[in-house]
Amino acid sequence: MPQTRRTDELMDGTALTAPRTPSPRDAPVLRWGVIAPGGIAASFVEALRTHTGQRVVAVGSRDADRARAFAGRFGIPAAYGSYAEVLDDAQVDIVYIASPHSEHHAHALMAIQAGKHVLVEKAFTRNAVEAEQLTTAARRQGVFCMEAMWTRFLPHMDVVRQVLDLGLLGDVLTVTADHGQFMNPRTAYRLFAPELAGGALLDLGVYPVSFAWMVLGPFASITAVGDTTDTGVDAQASIVVTNDAGAHGLLNTTLHARTPTTASVSGTRARLEIEGDFYAPATVRLVNRSNEPLGCHVPVLREGGLCYEAAEAARCVAAGRLESDLMPLEETLRVMRALDRIRADLGVSFPSE
């Protein structure tokens, strides 16, 4: 991967290397189809239009008028009143699955079986069984498949990876991360609906869990406590994970409050702090054991961060790769299994599971 050697000056002579993340504008151009033109799809298409050379050539909705309105808003040439028509369009190279995660398995499987590459919004599926089925289908069909865990592809996360790889923190001891938002049941119905795989964990908590996995690697133990809403989905969860080296992850998610949404990684030599919202483009600070600042990375791009995941997918597809090293399918599967375990601890299950 290309690497820029610009460094920040640090008080102790150590250096934070700049992110190696390539410019999204330099990614090979793919022709994208979008399934389910909702809010996240709009953010995705706007990010592509503003920060990349990617082309969105088709959009599909179960409501033809909605598809046409979305296409008119973003200048997309083809608008379809069904998802199947997007998949039948020979101009589409790759499909962005932007439907609620309760529908990801069905919609992504349709696309994979049609021979399309897929970028599937997080959470990848409702559970690990569905994730395994999609993974098997994609590998059998020989198409690219990746979870759109956009955080993994942001430049500040590459700074985090480099700090860990260089051992600047010493032995990692503790990871903290939280993601809580105040959600009103009257206006955020999906998050409170069991039939739509609602709850805090799959929509919000997936970010802290995935971040902890990136830092700690495989979890050796998982313990969770929490409570549920009146509808039976998880309202709040506090999670402790460990790895084989004995490091701890302290994670929290809730639908009931706006939390700091920060993250940190503490080691025997130093600590990394990621400002809120840690899962979006964010400032990263390195401090020593005396709490003195050693270095700081400030993101260049604050808005439109979804462009980085699209650029990664485009680079992989152009290179003939079926998975991304930054978010490989095996890691998506393991995170989904961890989420299943946490839901089991909370006593939460979804209809038809």
CA angle 247, 238, 296 (to 5 degrees): 55
Domain count, the chain: 2
Cα 78 to Cα 176: distance, rounded to the nearest angstrom: 44
Domain of 125: which CATH number? 3.40.50.720
Is residue 263 included in any domain, yes or no? yes
Same domain for 160 and 137: no
Domain boundary among 150, 178, 206: 150
Same domain for 192 and 65: no
Same domain for 123 and 156: no
Is residue 40 included in any domain, yes or no? yes
- Structural domain of 238: 152-302+327-346
Q: What is the pLDDT of residues 30-60, one digit of tens each?
A: 999 999 999 999 999 999 999 999 999 999 9
Same domain for 160 and 131: no
Is residue 190 included in any domain, yes or no? yes
Domain boundary among 99, 115, 150: 150
Q: pLDDT below 50 — which residues of the chain?
A: 1-13
Q: What is the pLDDT of residues 196-233, one digit of tens each?
A: 999 999 999 999 999 999 999 999 999 999 999 999 99
Spatial neighbors of 211 by CB under 8 A, at least 6 apart, are: 151, 175, 177, 263, 278, 279
Strands 248-254 and 234-242: antiparallel
pTM: 0.93
Same domain for 340 and 226: yes
Same domain for 260 and 130: no
Same domain for 179 and 123: no
